[in-house]
Amino acid sequence: MKNKKIYTIVAIVLLFGIYGYEYYLEEKEHQSAVTQGKTPKSGTNDFFLPTSTTGQVVHHHGYSLSYSEAHEQAEWVAYELKKAHLSSTNFERPLFEIDKAVKTGAAHWRNYKNSGFDRGHLCPAGDRRYSKEAYDETFLTSNISPQKSDFNAGIWNTLEQKVRYWANKYDGVFVVTGGVLKGDMQTIGDEHVAVPNQFYKIILDNDNGTIRMIAFLMPHENSNQPLYKFVVSVDEIEALTGIDFFPELEDELENRLEAMSDYKGWSFN
């Protein structure tokens, strides 16, 4: 009986030791990721980053984001899409992973399971085919938002392809995108991931100091309408989201460009 008690105590100690060591490793990995996330990424003009209404900005190698814990997704994802980034390389599609650089804890991918919604990329995997690392980063859960399948594969995909077209034509563009995290929204999963009713995408072209913008606001529904039907001013998206998208621009220039909803000069062919 005495030996049995000893074996039981040893087993309990070992069990706690194993769980304790696993917790230590997870925390160490988490702290490493958070430290990495605080380091500005290379090769991107951070000058064009929006403000964060949440105070939680994470920088990855291929994009930056502002995470909204209340909605369990990014309020915006921003990245530069250079002409040199465009590639037809087909990497093996990875599994979705929780973004451990999000200090408040990014949503788990299981929230999307059997929800009826796609894990919609905000920074598209197709924009990050220039390296395996950059491609895999787009499968972090901080970079996804619940999207209807026909919307994700339809009008939203058409806009993503048009952005690539402009990146090639204009030798690179800067992109800010996300869901409008306001109003009455459905939620999915145990963590209550919000389902945006609208999505936006803002494209900035900096041609040797000459800056122009075009912004799109789309209802979360597929559409056969041409893309220019969804062009709005940046001011309109700022009013909806509470985000100041280009605060570092000189005020007069920022005010003038963000008030415009003119798509002339942007090739839609």
CATH code of the domain covering residue 183: 3.40.570.10
The backbone torsions φ and ψ at residue 178, rounded to the nearest 5 degrees and listed phi first, read 170, 180
23, 139: one domain = no
Q: How does residue 12 score in pLDDT terms, banded at 50, 70 and 90? A: low
63, 155: one domain = yes
Q: Determine the pLDDT at residue 262.
A: 83
Q: Determine the pLDDT at residue 19.
A: 46
pTM for the predicted model, two decimal places: 0.83
Is 268 part of a structural domain of the chain?
no
Is 264 part of a structural domain of the chain?
no
Is 263 part of a structural domain of the chain?
no
For 58, residues 6+ apart whose C-beta sits below 8 A from its C-beta are 37, 64, 65, 66, 67, 99, 101, 102, 142
Number of domains in the chain: 2
30, 61: one domain = no
Q: Which domain holds residue 31?
A: 1-37
The backbone torsions φ and ψ at residue 213, rounded to the nearest 5 degrees and listed phi first, read -135, 155
10, 136: one domain = no
Is 146 part of a structural domain of the chain?
yes
The Cα–Cα gap between 87 and 130 comes to: 6
Q: Determine the pLDDT at residue 33.
A: 39
2, 118: one domain = no
59, 160: one domain = yes
- Whether the pLDDT of residue 17 is over 80: the answer is no
33, 161: one domain = no
Is 266 part of a structural domain of the chain?
no
Q: How does residue 14 score in pLDDT terms, banded at 50, 70 and 90? A: low
59, 1: one domain = no
8, 68: one domain = no
Reported as a single tens digit per residue, the pLDDT across 82-138 is 999 998 888 999 999 999 999 999 999 999 999 999 999 999 999 999 999 999 999
The Cα–Cα gap between 201 and 77 comes to: 10
86, 199: one domain = yes
CB 171, CB 206: distance < 8 Å = no
The Cα–Cα gap between 213 and 176 comes to: 11
DSSP type of residue 41: P
Is 165 part of a structural domain of the chain?
yes
DSSP E strands, the chain: 57-59, 64-68, 73-81, 118-121, 144-147, 173-179, 186-188, 193-195, 198-207, 210-219, 231-232
The Cα–Cα gap between 196 and 117 comes to: 11
